[in-house]
Homo-oligomer: A and B are copies of this chain.
Amino acid sequence: MASISLADYPPELSKEEELYLISNLKDWSIAHGLAVRPAPAFVQPSQDPSGVLATTAPVTLFPSLFPASCFEEGLAIQRAYNELYSAIARDEAWLQSIVEELLGIDDFVTKLWQTHLMVKEEGYAQDLSLGLFRSDYMVHQDPSEANPAPSLKQVEFNTIASSFGGLSSQVSALHRYLLTIDAYPSSTSSIVKAEALQQSRSASSLAKGLAAAHKAYVSSQANRPLCVLFIVQDPERNVFDQRHLEYALLEENGVRSFRLPFGETLSHTKLDADRTLLYTPPNSPSTSYEVTTIYFRAGYSPDDYPKDEDWTARLHLEKSRAIKCPSILTHLAGCKKVQQVLATPHSPHLKRFLPDEKVAARVLATFAPIYPLDSSEAGREARRLAADPASASRYVLKPQREGGGNNIYRKAIPPFLEKLPETHWPAYILMEMIEPPPLTNAILRNGELQKGGVICELGVYGVCLWRDGSGAEQNKGEILESWEAGYLLRTKGDQSEEGGVAAGFGAVDSCCLVDG
Contact = CB atoms under 8 A, between A and B. Distances in A.
Interface in A470-493: none
Nearest to A1: B286
Interface string A42-58: 11000111111111100
Contacts of A286: 1
Give the copy number.
2
A30 B446 CA distance: 16
Contact of A51 (B21, B26, B43): B26
Contacts of A372: none
A495 interface: no
B240 A30 contact: yes
A359 interface: no
A17 B52 contact: no
B26 A35 contact: no
Contacts of A30: 30, 33, 35, 54, 240
Contacts of A240: 27, 30-31
A284 B188 CA distance: 13
A280 to B, nearest CB: 11
A16 B239 contact: no
Contacts of A42: 48
A54 B51 contact: no
A247 B283 contact: no
A281 B55 CA distance: 27
Contact of A52 (B185, B287, B447): B447
A256 interface: yes
Interface string A240-276: 1001100100100000100000000000000000000
Given A50-B448, A186-B284, A447-B51, A244 B20 contact: no
Interface stretch (A175-183, A322-330, A399-407, A419-427): A175-183
Contacts of A446: 52
21 contacts: A14-B283, A16-B282, A16-B285, A17-B283, A20-B281, A20-B283, A21-B283, A27-B243, A30-B30, A30-B33, A31-B240, A31-B243, A43-B47, A48-B447, A50-B447, A50-B448, A52-B444, A53-B55, A54-B55, A181-B250, A181-B256
